C-alpha cells in the first residue's frame, strides 16, 4: 500500500480507549486513515455500511461482528483484518481466506501476561505460599522460622500440557530457574521438543511425575475434559494443577472430588462454567485458588495489543506482510 489505507474499527466501542490510548492511536493513524469515533458493532448499520464500501483495513477486537460473505460483498476493497486480541475464531469465516484477505492477530502479545501469571503461580505453588497464607489466616499464628519439608522450587518437575503460544512462552520464562520442565503435546515430535529445550512425555507419564502441572492446550472436541478423574488420580500427592487455558479442559466434578480429599491443589483462572455459580464448592475448598479470568491482557496490558496492531499497520503501509498472520491450517487447534 503506497498511501494510507482507509480503516474502520470493528469491536466493542468501550474497549477502544483501552486498546488504543492516545499515543497508540496516534501511531496507528500515521499508517491508516480512520475516524476513531466510528466503531462497527453491527455491519448492517447504514453509517457502517457506507464506511465499509471504502474500507481497506478492518481493525477488530473483542465484540467484532462475524465477517461473512455478505460483509465482504459490502467491503470490496478490504485487504486486511488486524485483530487487537487473541483468537479470531468468533468472527473470522472461511470467506476471508477464500478472498485473499490478510488476517493478523495480537495473540502472541496476549500470550505474554498469561505466561507471566503462570510463572508467578508456579513459583508461588512450589513454595506452598497460597496454602501457607490460608493457614496463617485461619490460625492467626505461625510456627516462626524453620525448615519446611516437601516444598521448594529446586529441581521440581513442571509438566506443561500444550506447546501453544502460551505454553512455549512459559517454557521460555522457566529457563532461568532450577525447575525441570517437561512437555506433552500430540502435535510436537522429539525434534521440536528438543528445540524447545524440554523432554517430551506422554500425558500419563507427565501427570505421574510432575509436582506442578500447567494446562495450555486449546479447547477442541478432543481436549474436552482431557483432565478427568483418571488423569487426576495419576498426579502424585501434593501436586498442583494450574489451568489458564479453558475451563472445559478439566472435569470440574472430578476435580472437586479430588480437592475434597486434600490430596491436590488447583489454581484456576478459567472455570467451567464461567463465571462460576455462587454455590460452587470451588469458592470454599481450601485446595482451590480461583481467579476471575484475569491472566490475559488487563488494564495497561491492553495497550500492548493495540501497539501490535499499529505495528502491523506500519508493515502493510511499507508493503510488507503481517508479522503475526493467522495460520488458517492451525486455527482449529488453537484456543
| Known active-site residue 27 | no
Contact between residue 302 and residue 21 where contact means Cβ atoms under 8 Å apart: no
Report the distance separating Cα 103 and Cα 96, nearest Å. 8
Among residues 293, 304, 314, 333, the one annotated as catalytic is 293
Kindly state the DSSP code that residue 327 receives in the 8-state scheme.
-
- Cell matching residue 255: 476435580
Among residues 83, 157, 216, 246, the one annotated as catalytic is 246
String of DSSP letters for 51-111: HHTT-SEEEE-TTPPPB-HHHHHH-TT--EEEESSS--TTTB-HHHHHTT-EEEE-HHHHH
Among residues 69, 222, 274, 332, the one annotated as catalytic is 274
Kindly state the DSSP code that residue 227 receives in the 8-state scheme.
B
Long-range contacts of 229-237 (CB under 8 A, 24+ apart): 229/254, 229/257, 231/203, 231/204, 231/207, 232/258, 232/264, 233/258, 234/204, 234/207, 234/208, 235/207, 235/208, 235/210, 235/264, 236/208, 236/209, 236/210, 236/211, 237/263, 237/264
| Known active-site residue 252 | no
| Known active-site residue 274 | yes
The residues annotated as belonging to the active site are 246, 274, 293
Amino acid at each position: 500500500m503506497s498511501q494510507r489505507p482507509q480503516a474502520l474499527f470493528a469491536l466493542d466501542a468501550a474497549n477502544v480507549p483501552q486498546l488504543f490510548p492516545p499515543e497508540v492511536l496516534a501511531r496507528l493513524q500515521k499508517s491508516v486513515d480512520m475516524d476513531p469515533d466510528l466503531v462497527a458493532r453491527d455491519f448492517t448499520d447504514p453509517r457502517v455500511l457506507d464506511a465499509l464500501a471504502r474500507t481497506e483495513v478492518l481493525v477488530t477486537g473483542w465484540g467484532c461482528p462475524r465477517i461473512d460473505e455478505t460483509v465482504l460483498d459490502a467491503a470490496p476493497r478490504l485487504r486486511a483484518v488486524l485483530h487487537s486480541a487473541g483468537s479470531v475464531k468468533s468472527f473470522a469465516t472461511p470467506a476471508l481466506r477464500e478472498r485473499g484477505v490478510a488476517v493478523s492477530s495480537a495473540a502472541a502479545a496476549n500470550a505474554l501476561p498469561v505466561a507471566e501469571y503462570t510463572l508467578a503461580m508456579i513459583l508461588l505453588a512450589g513454595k506452598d505460599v497460597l496454602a501457607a497464607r490460608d493457614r496463617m489466616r485461619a490460625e492467626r499464628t505461625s510456627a516462626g522460622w524453620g525448615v519446611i519439608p516437601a516444598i521448594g522450587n529446586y529441581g521440581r518437575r513442571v509438566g506443561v500440557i500444550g506447546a501453544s503460544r502460551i505454553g512455549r512462552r512459559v517454557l521460555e520464562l522457566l529457563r532461568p530457574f532450577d525447575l525441570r520442565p517437561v512437555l506433552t503435546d500430540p502435535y510436537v515430535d522429539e525434534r521440536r521438543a528438543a528445540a524447545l529445550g524440554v523432554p517430551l512425555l506422554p500425558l500419563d507419564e507427565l501427570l505421574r511425575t510432575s509436582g506442578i502441572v500447567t494446562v495450555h492446550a486449546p479447547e477442541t472436541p478432543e481436549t474436552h475434559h482431557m483432565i478427568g478423574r483418571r488423569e487426576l488420580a495419576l498426579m502424585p500427592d501434593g501436586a498442583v494443577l494450574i489451568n489458564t487455558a479453558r475451563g472445559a479442559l478439566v472435569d470440574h466434578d472430578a476435580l472437586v472430588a479430588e480437592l475434597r480429599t486434600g490430596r491436590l491443589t488447583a489454581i484456576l483462572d478459567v472455570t467451567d462454567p464461567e463465571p462460576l455459580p455462587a454455590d460452587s464448592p470451588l469458592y470454599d475448598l481450601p485446595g482451590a485458588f480461583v481467579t476471575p479470568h484475569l491472566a490475559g491482557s488487563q488494564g495497561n496490558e491492553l495497550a500492548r495489543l493495540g501497539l501490535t496492531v499499529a505495528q502491523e499497520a506500519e508493515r502493510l503501509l511499507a508493503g510488507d506482510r503481517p508479522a503475526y498472520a493467522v495460520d488458517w491450517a492451525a486455527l482449529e487447534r488453537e484456543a
